[in-house]
Amino acid sequence: MGIPKDYNVEVVKREVVIPATVIQEHVLPFSNIDLTVPPCGVHVFFCYDKPFQTSFVSVLSNLKSSLSRAFMSCSAFAGRLVSHGDGDLQMVCNGKGAEFSEAYADICLTQVEFCNPIAAIEGKLVPLLVKDSEGNGSPVFAVQVTKFSCGGIVVSCTFDHRIADSFSTNLFFTCWANLSRNEPIGFITPSFTRSILVPRDPPDCCSEIKKMYTKVQLFPQSNMQIPHPPITSRIYYLNAKDIEMLQQNANQNGNKYTKLEAFSAYLWKMLIQGQEIENTMNCNMGIVVDGRSHLTRMGMPTNYFGNVISLPFARARAKDIKKEPLSWSAKGTVGPPQVHCGATVPVVTCKYTQGLQVHCSHP
């Protein structure tokens, strides 16, 4: 079956799902790490075959009902980002809820080119975080459920990254999924304690952190439009054998690297070789990692809700990345922990079963 270049999605209904019971309004403080996360919405989608024992109407009703109950375990996703007098944002847990959209697509689910998310997913299958028209602030969570012509269903969500990282969000998704199946939620009430992430006073920063920032300089205003390179976004799937082969190639001369380190080194080489970059130019390779395994040893609760991420990176000249073997590039992706936002975070290892899915965005 050929893959169509485009397809249509019609949103037929939008409503707001609120918590099952009234939530006492309160403010959730941002941590020092939350404040470093840019204002961006993260899209997550789940694909399902046509359900044979229930109707789409029943699926929608069940998802809305279970989402309403899930908000009771994590009220942050039903709140709003509100700007107060000095321009700073506050996360207000006020129970205003999240927009829930019902949509229909005019093709079969198997025809969607998921590997090209910008063309096939954004603006079609994932919802936007639309500012509250009543002046209650900006929502941080939205849901869209899309039915395809074959009966397949995509449940997609968008959440504001400033509120939570993927670990925290996955706890909420697990709670919601279990409630939708009438199973025990298996969910520990999230902890919103921020004391472990209070900045040092006086500050104590590693000198490496200075390489991650640059001074802001004021330039004369100009009407000249500076072109920006387009962002390319792709989703790749690599099977287990390919990952193991990359790891074997990287583990030369007695070195041992994780599967994620080996793949990151390979991706680094491919991106540099596929672009016209001067040989003398320094190129960075960054990997977003979860710092919980480190900070829990320092007193952070295992059920901490919020952002606990860092971005360690390697740097090398383009010509070295191109000509040196994979084992050399892999060596550049590891090393001593990087210091970022007051938290020391080691490079994460990769766990996999049948393969590895990678979402890569780059100019």
Lowest mean pLDDT among 176-185, 270-279, 314-323: 270-279
Q: What is the mean pLDDT of the chain?
A: 82
Considering the domain 9-190 in this protein, what is its CATH number?
A: 3.30.559.10
**Over residues 192-197, mean pLDDT:** 82
**Fold agreement between 9-190 and 230-362:** yes
List b or e across 216-249, with b for residues whose CB sees 16 or more CB atoms inside 10 angstroms.
eeeeeeeeeeeeeeeeebeeeebeeeebeebbeb
Give residue 356's pLDDT: 41
Alpha carbon of residue 285 to chain centroid: 18
**Residue 346 corresponds to which tokens in the numbers above?**
């080691």
Q: Which tens digit of pLDDT belongs to each residue from 268-314? A: 888 888 777 888 888 888 778 888 888 888 888 888 999 998 877 78
The answer to whether residue 352 scores a pLDDT higher than 60 is no
pLDDT band at residue 42 using 50, 70 and 90 as cut-offs: very high
Question: Could you tell me which residue, 135 or 25, shows the higher pLDDT?
Answer: 25
C-alpha–C-alpha distance, residues 39 and 158, integer Å: 13
pLDDT at 360 over 80: no
Q: What pLDDT is stored for residue 17 in this prediction?
A: 97
Residue 226 has a pLDDT of 61
Q: Which pLDDT tens digit goes with each residue over 209-220?
A: 776 666 767 666
At 159 the pLDDT is 96
- CATH number for 230-362 (one of 2.70.70.10, 3.30.559.10, 3.30.750.24, 1.50.10.100): it is 3.30.559.10
Task: Let me know if 351 is exposed, middle or buried by CB neighbors in 10 A (0-12, 13-18, 19+).
Answer: exposed
The full set of domain ranges for the chain reads 9-190, 230-362
Exposure class string for 72-93: b at 16+ Cβ within 10 A, else e = bbbbbbbbbbbeeeeeebebbb
Place of tokens 């919802």: 127
Tell me which residue of 314, 306, 276 sits closest to 290, measured CA to CA. Answer: 306
Please tell me the distance from the alpha carbon of residue 350 to that of residue 287, in angstroms, as a whole number.
12
DSSP state of 231: P
* Residue 85's pLDDT band (cuts 50, 70, 90): low
| pLDDT of residue 152 exceeding 50 | yes
Token couple for 111? 């025809």
- Read off the pLDDT band of 93 (50, 70, 90): very high
For 217, half-sphere exposure in the C-beta direction (CA atoms, 13 angstrom radius) is 3
Proportion of the chain above pLDDT 70, given as a percent: 82
Residue 330 is predicted with a pLDDT of 86
pLDDT of res. 336: 35
